[in-house]
Amino acid sequence: MMLLDDKFYRIAAVAKDNEHVATYTIELLADCTVYQGHFPGKPVCPGVCNIQTIKECAMRLLGENLCFKTIKQCRLTAVATPATCPVLLVRIQTTPTEEGYQLQASIYNQSQTYMELKGTLIKT
Amino acid sequence: MDNIQALIPQRPPIIMVDELTEADEEQALCQLTVREDNFFLQSDGTMAETGIIEHIAQSASAYAGHKALQGGAKVPPVGYIGEIKNFHLYQLPKVGDQLQTTIVMGPEAQGVTLLHGETLRNGKELVAKTQMKIFIAQE
């Protein structure tokens, strides 16, 4: 289920390599209510909102409702904020499995990488 | 124990822990009741797994805050998740469920702490477990 589209982020563009691989361009929405609490006077993207954004891009690509079964590793390599990186790229690479998909994803822009994730998604 | 807002820097709408109920040198226990207004609540009444991860991170933050205040700090430290490793989801909690999370804190090195978190639902069923690296910001 989509929780954060048009709330935390907006999809500006998508470039599909094939039915399982795509790069989404997203805009971070600075007026999202999450920044009232994370943190007061110091808006920083919650890492888990970036993880949720990755999942929602994968759901959009695959046209299915998905949930993380495992996250083998997720590295948060830089702090993202709507002021310092208002536009980000979300790279989604999936491989079908019996239960769902293997996922490799990253969030980045031309200057740096903010998140790298490896995990598995199941259908819900 | 203490008021949760004294222990963590997060504020509504993204407070994901209600209470630190136990804490000693090695581990702590926190709880959260899943309510209708939870930021991570989905349209089917379940809380998204990303909300469970945030709950575990904030439980660790509350534990670190409790330790810092005991050590004489005036305000809790701001911690960031640096890495999530080996997260496993067993089930999604629903509105009305009470989550109990045990945090076991490992050693700290250069501002980075490795911790284990395990979340139960209503005192018995395993919801999720994970390892996490947390950075404590030096103000």
pLDDT tens string A69-108: 999 999 999 999 999 999 999 999 999 999 999 999 999 9
CATH of the domain at A44: 3.10.129.10
CA distances, B25 to each of A86, B1, B19 (Å): 41, 16, 18
Contact A25, A86 (CB under 8 A): no
CA dihedral A72, B96, B26, B62 (to 10 degrees): 90
pLDDT (tens digit per residue) in B29-79? 999 999 999 999 999 999 999 999 999 999 999 999 999 999 999 888 888
The Cβ of residue B102 has, within 10 Å, a number of other Cβ atoms equal to: 17
Q: Does the residue A109 lie in any domain? A: yes
Rounded Cα–Cα distance for residues B127 and B136 (Å)? 26
pLDDT (tens digit per residue) in A41-61? 999 999 999 999 999 999 999
Q: Does the residue A29 lie in any domain? A: yes
* Closest A-chain CA to B129: A70
Biggest distance spanned by C-alpha atoms of chain B:
44
Model confidence at B1, pLDDT cuts 50, 70, 90, reads low
Q: Which domain holds residue A75?
A: 9-123
Contact B119, B130 (CB under 8 A): no
User: Does the pLDDT of residue B96 top 70, yes or no?
Assistant: yes
**Cα of A51 to nearest chain B Cα, Å:** 7
pLDDT at A26: 98
Q: Does the residue A4 lie in any domain? A: no
pLDDT (tens digit per residue) in B5-24? 999 999 999 999 999 999 99
Model confidence at B137, pLDDT cuts 50, 70, 90, reads confident
Q: Does the residue A3 lie in any domain? A: no
Q: Which of B49, B57, B80 sits opposite A67 (nearest CB)?
A: B49
Nearest to B63 by CA among B100, B20, B113: B20
**Cα of A16 to nearest chain B Cα, Å:** 25
Q: Domain B13-136 has what CATH class? A: alpha beta
Residues 55-74 in A contacting B (C-alpha not used; CB under 8 Å): 55, 67-74
pLDDT (tens digit per residue) in A17-47? 999 999 999 999 999 999 999 999 999 999 9
Q: Do B87 and A38 touch (CB under 8 A)?
A: no
Rounded Cα–Cα distance for residues B48 and B94 (Å)? 9
Count of the separate structural domains present in chain A? 1
Both structure tokens of A107: 């969030």
Residues 83-112 in A contacting B (C-alpha not used; CB under 8 Å): none
pLDDT at B2: 61
pLDDT > 70 fraction of chain B, expressed in percent and rounded: 97
Which of B5, B37, B38, B39 is best to mutate for the A interface (most A CBs within 10 A)? B39
Q: Does the residue A79 lie in any domain? A: yes
Rounded Cα–Cα distance for residues A45 and A34 (Å)? 8
Would strands A21-28 and A9-18 be described as parallel, antiparallel, or unpaired?
A: antiparallel
Q: Do A70 and B88 touch (CB under 8 A)?
A: yes
DSSP per-residue letters across A2-26: -SSBTTTEEEEEEEEEETTEEEEEE
* Closest A-chain CA to B80: A47
Contact B66, B20 (CB under 8 A): yes
